Amino acid sequence: MLMEQERELIVKYGKKLISSGLTKGTGGNLSIYNKKEGLIAISPSGMDYFETTPLDITIMDLKGNLVEGERKPSVEYEMHLIFYKNRKNVFSVVHTHSIASSTIAALRWSLPAVNYLVGLSGENLVPCADYASFGSKELAENALKGMGNGYAVFLANHGLLTTSTDIHKAFYIAEEIEHCAEIFLRAKAVGNPVIISDEEMVKMNILFKSYGQNK
């Protein structure tokens, strides 16, 4: 079985999407890119995360060809492939339907630096990509353009997309951006949140590059 370790991680983090409240039902999707093999492990389309096994994970190449697996890949597979083709520092993609992030996406707002953790996005704010139908090539292109050089982007009227060097970091970014999105919405309900300066956020972005334990 190809990419056994990556398959197991997709299954693990698929369950965490539900248990962490980052999606409902079969919403959202995850993938991991193995650069050495030139292959991608991606969650299957429309399957219960708690019923998904490593054998259900689909293996694809960068051209979108099915290499191994009996299940249909996520309908959003183009949105994963485009980042692996165009971003040399991206090896995992996580897409969620988390409530606060989806609310901001429905408003088509960007998320400013209401909290220093916004810096995990790699930028001073999390932008919102232009709308396109789910599963479309246009959505993939909009997501790539919207994210720029960062690691997070809202998908208009849809949800949140995060990327990183591995699935652990991509998932962590998704959790923290959702946390910041909720803070922003609650603050807006009470008054006008004070936004951290660009100068301070540049410092935060530098600090986050060395944050955590080295593997």
Give me the residue label for tokens 């997070």.
Answer: 152
Q: Are 89 and 171 in contact (CB under 8 A)?
A: no
Q: Is 76 a catalytic residue?
A: yes
6, 68, 70, 76: the catalytic one is 76
CA angle 44, 46, 52 (to 5 degrees): 55
Of 127, 183, 184, 161, the closest CA to residue 27 belongs to 161
- Which amino acid, 38? G
At 81, list the tokens.
């492939």
Structure tokens of 135?
């599963």
Which positions are catalytic?
A: 76
